[in-house]
């Protein structure tokens, strides 16, 4: 199956494949036509660049013009793994991959199927998450089919992704590394390797990207974010009593008192990594139930929860 998938990639086709974060929609990163098919399949705006996947740090100069010390340090510490580094791009990388910009985002995924696919294809693989633009990211093969069935040439089913949310994106082209998208590699982990890092997209220039489109990773059902369980209860209890079907996603311990036939409770783990692993699956599941709204109690506003809070905030953006 992987050999066949590698052939599809080499022939300019699209392969959806599992990584340790979410499923990716892959094409030969050095083939502009193949990459343009990714944008078409996803309905992705041409202004949003895609990540290039390699199977080993030694391949990085096929896609990057230079490999600065900070990049090498971070890659040494976290590759293969859920960390994407934004670096100056090599000429071989077509403009469509980088949305016309001078930098390329590179990642070395830590998943045996992704690794094998890149190796057998023998080319770097451009891959955004395998969902329609602005919709929920897929962490299972069935999520991929929900959005992209009929738009891809082949899907490699590797079961559920263990990480569950997209990689941390760090721009290392400036003096101080800048986290453009939080993820399972936290700011604390990055700082332990390379000293101070900055957080958030710059207002101008190529660093604006992960957060560029506010609405992102969204279910179709409206999501209502609450800082506390009480706030959520105040918001939905009357609705529930009128038999309006509401979802509640929470990691707060809850009394049985709040059980109601119109309330669909999705308990989440009170641990950032475990929560992340289930986040999109929980949203996909609740989104398929025809609920009027999904209430979410936000995990605490702490550094270790930054990535989960970021995805929830985007999912709720109108
Ligand atoms: O975990 C992941 O990163 C998954 C798996 C498939 O690897 N991929 C993923 O891709 O989440 P996507 O396209 O959904 O998100 C890529 C993010 C976007 O926010 C994009 O704007 C940013 O990376 N990005 C890509 N190239 C960039 C660049 N040259 N400069 C700044 N940001 C970039
Ligand atoms: Mg995405």
Hey, which of 46, 84, 137, 208 would you mutate to test ligand 1's pocket, going by the most ligand atoms within 8 Å of its Cβ? Answer: 84
Distance CA 56, CA 33 (A): 25
**Cα three-residue angle 47-50-55, rounded to 5 degrees:** 165
Contact 280, 216 (CB under 8 A): no
pLDDT of the residue at 94: 98
**Cα three-residue angle 130-183-295, rounded to 5 degrees:** 80
Distance CA 206, CA 98 (A): 10
pLDDT of the residue at 209: 52
The pLDDT profile of the chain, 318 residues, written as one tens digit per residue, is 999 999 999 999 999 999 999 999 999 999 999 999 999 999 999 999 999 999 999 999 999 999 999 999 999 999 999 999 999 999 999 999 999 999 999 999 999 999 999 999 999 999 999 999 989 999 999 999 999 999 999 999 999 999 999 999 999 999 999 999 999 999 999 999 999 999 887 654 444 554 455 566 788 999 999 999 999 999 998 999 999 999 999 999 877 667 889 999 999 999 999 999 999 999 999 999 999 999 999 999 999 999 999 999 999 987
127 lines ligand 1 (CB under 6 A): yes
129 lines ligand 1 (CB under 6 A): yes
pLDDT of the residue at 203: 55
Hey, which of 49, 85, 139, 170 would you mutate to test ligand 1's pocket, going by the most ligand atoms within 8 Å of its Cβ? Answer: 49
Neighbours of 123 (CB within 10 A): 21
User: How many angstroms is it from 51 CA to the middle of ligand 1?
Assistant: 5
Contact 270, 206 (CB under 8 A): no
Distance CA 90, CA 60 (A): 10
21 lines ligand 1 (CB under 6 A): yes
Radius of gyration of the chain (CA): 20
Q: Which atom of ligand 1 is nearest to the CA of 183?
A: 1
Q: Which residue's entry shows tokens 């929470």?
A: 250
Distance CA 113, CA 118 (A): 9
């Amino acid at each position: 199956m992987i050999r066949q998938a590698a052939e599809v990639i080499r022939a300019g086709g699209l392969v959806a494949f599992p990584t340790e974060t979410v499923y990716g929609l892959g094409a030969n990163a050095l083939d502009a036509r193949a990459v343009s098919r990714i944008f078409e399949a996803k309905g992705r705006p041409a202004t949003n660049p895609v990540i290039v996947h390699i199977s080993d740090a030694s391949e990085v100069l096929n896609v990057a013009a230079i490999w600065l010390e900070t990049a090498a340090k971070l890659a040494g510490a976290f590759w293969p793994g859920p960390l994407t580094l934004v670096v100056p791009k090599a000429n071989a990388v077509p403009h469509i991959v980088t949305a016309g910009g001078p930098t390329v985002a590179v990642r070395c995924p830590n998943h045996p199927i992704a690794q094998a696919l890149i190796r057998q294809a023998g080319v770097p693989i451009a891959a955004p998450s395998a969902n329609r633009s602005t919709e929920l990211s897929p962490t299972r093969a069935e999520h991929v089919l929900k959005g992209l069935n009929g738009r891809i040439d082949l899907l490699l089913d590797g079961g559920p992704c263990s990480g569950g949310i997209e990689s941390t994106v760090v721009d290392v082209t400036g003096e101080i590394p800048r986290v453009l998208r939080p993820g399972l590699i936290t700011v604390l982990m990055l700082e332990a390797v390379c000293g101070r890092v900055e957080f958030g997209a710059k207002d101008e220039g190529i660093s604006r990207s992960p957060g560029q489109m506010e609405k992102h990773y969204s279910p179709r059902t409206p999501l209502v974010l609450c800082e506390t369980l009480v706030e959520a209860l105040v918001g939905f209890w009357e609705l529930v009593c009128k038999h309006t079907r509401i979802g509640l996603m929470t990691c707060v311990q809850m009394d049985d008192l709040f059980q109601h036939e119109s309330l669909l409770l999705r308990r989440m783990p009170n641990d950032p990594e475990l929560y992340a692993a289930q986040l999109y699956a929980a949203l996909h599941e609740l989104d398929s139930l025809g609920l009027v709204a999904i209430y979410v109690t936000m995990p605490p506003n702490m550094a270790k929860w930054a990535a989960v809070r970021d995805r929830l905030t985007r999912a709720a953006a109108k």
